[in-house]
């Protein structure tokens, strides 16, 4: 059984492997208090005290639901022992998060009810606050066991999307050269067919020589010119910078202890 394998790994001090086994076991029986407790223990041994506390709480809840007093007492005991070691982060907003806003911790969404206080495992974490048309707020934290940090978001920097296309002129020139190259190819074909027709329908040797000369000089020249135009057009098109959309500040509210107002910023 997965649970028994996990216990053997625990006894051998292989905490990560044990966690993996208990994680697989809990998928089969999500309400097994023993597995929940052991998931808490192996994570605690790995230093993931916030994760461990979550498993202990789940074990306590399930044990209470099914009136398994021994498991409930053990889960409560472990909760109390680990709670003071869990790092805490608090978010303080000077203004309400705009509609559609979201806070993520290490890429995972945080529930709105947890903004004021949430726990994390010791170590480095990335806190990101985003909202439509608002410049993202990023904060990296590095907390040790029992640590606490408050992140203050004083203002919302409102932005608007600006598209800049530095390659527009080069692409227009590429289109023009490409069209010119196609026209020259057309002229080349016309000269070739026209002079071929003359050559095939005359017995005059001079006229035939003139037709050969026209094809050799003018048809070859237009073909080379057309190829050069299309080659240059391809180069210009492929090397032209692509259009890029950036966010620029239009206005931002200022909220401090001494003032309430707006600042304005515009780029030209």
Same domain for 104 and 130, yes or no, is yes
pLDDT for 258 equals 45
Query: Quick check: 81 and 73 in contact, CB under 8 A?
Result: no
pLDDT for 22 equals 96
- Flag whether pLDDT at 83 surpasses 90: yes
The more confidently predicted of residues 187 and 208 is 187
Tell me which of 83, 98, 121 is where a domain ends: 83
* Model-wide pTM > 0.75: no
Q: What is the CATH number of the domain that holds 114?
A: 2.60.40.1120
Q: For residue range 14-46, what is the model confidence (pLDDT) as tens digits?
A: 999 999 999 999 999 998 999 999 999 999 999
Same domain for 48 and 10, yes or no, is yes
Domain count, the chain: 3
Same domain for 24 and 75, yes or no, is yes
Between 6-15, 119-128, 154-163, the lowest mean confidence (pLDDT) is in 154-163
Same domain for 78 and 124, yes or no, is no
Tell me which of 83, 107, 137 is where a domain ends: 83
pLDDT for 249 equals 53
Residue 77 lies in a domain: yes
Residue 182 lies in a domain: yes
Between 137-151, 164-178, 233-247, the lowest mean confidence (pLDDT) is in 233-247
Residue 99 lies in a domain: yes
- Flag whether pLDDT at 69 surpasses 80: yes
pLDDT for 189 equals 87
pLDDT for 121 equals 97
Residue 266 lies in a domain: no
pLDDT for 80 equals 96
pLDDT band of 9, cuts 50, 70, 90: very high
Domain extent, residue 235, equals 168-239
pLDDT for 163 equals 75
- Flag whether pLDDT at 12 surpasses 70: yes
Q: What is the CATH number of the domain that holds 42?
A: 1.25.40.10
Residue 61 lies in a domain: yes
Q: For residue range 145-200, what is the model confidence (pLDDT) as tens digits?
A: 999 999 998 777 766 556 778 888 988 998 999 999 899 889 888 888 888 888 88
Same domain for 32 and 74, yes or no, is yes
State the average pLDDT for the chain: 86
Q: Which residues pair with 247 in a beta bridge?
A: 161
Instruction: Show the 3-state SS of the chain.
Output: CHHHHHHHHHHCCCHHHHHHHHHHHHHHCCCCHHHHHHHHHHHHHCCCHHHHHHHHHHHHHHHHHCCCHHHHHHHHHHHHHHHCCCCEEEEEECCCCCCCCEEEECCEECCHHHCCCEECCCEEEEEEEEECCEEEEEEEEEECCCCEEEEEECCCCEEEEEEECCCHHHHHHHHHHHHHHHHHHHHHHHHHHHHHHHHHCCCCHHHHHHHHHHHHHHHHHHHHHHHHHHHHHHHHHHHCCCCEEEEEEEEEEEECCCCEEEEECCCC
- Flag whether pLDDT at 4 surpasses 60: yes
Tell me which of 99, 122, 154 is where a domain ends: 154
- Flag whether pLDDT at 257 surpasses 50: no
């Amino acid at each position: 059984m997965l649970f028994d394998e996990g216990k053997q790994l625990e006894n051998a001090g292989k905490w990560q492997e044990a966690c993996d086994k208990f994680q697989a076991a809990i998928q089969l029986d999500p309400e097994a208090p023993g597995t929940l407790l052991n998931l808490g223990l192996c994570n605690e041994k790995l230093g993931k005290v916030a994760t461990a506390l979550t498993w202990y709480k789940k074990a306590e809840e399930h044990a209470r639901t099914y009136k398994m007093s021994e498991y409930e007492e053990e889960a409560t005991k472990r909760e109390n022992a680990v709670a003071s070691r869990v790092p805490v982060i608090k978010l303080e907003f000077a203004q309400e998060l705009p509609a559609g806003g979201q806070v993520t911790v290490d890429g995972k969404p945080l529930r709105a009810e947890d903004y004021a206080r949430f726990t994390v495992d010791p170590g480095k974490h990335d806190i990101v606050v985003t909202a439509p048309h608002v410049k993202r707020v990023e904060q990296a934290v590095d907390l040790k066991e029992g640590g606490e940090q408050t992140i203050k978001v004083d203002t919302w920097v409102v932005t608007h999307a600006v598209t800049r296309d530095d390659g527009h002129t080069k692409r227009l020139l590429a289109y023009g050269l490409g069209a010119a190259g196609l026209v020259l190819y057309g002229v080349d074909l016309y000269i070739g067919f026209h002079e071929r027709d003359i050559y095939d329908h005359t017995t005059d040797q001079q006229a035939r020589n003139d037709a050969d000369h026209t094809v050799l000089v003018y048809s070859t020249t237009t073909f080379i010119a057309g190829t050069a135009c299309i080659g240059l057009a391809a180069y210009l098109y492929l090397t032209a910078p692509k259009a890029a959309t950036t966010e620029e500040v239009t206005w931002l509210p200022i909220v401090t202890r001494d003032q309430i107002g707006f600042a304005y910023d515009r780029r030209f």
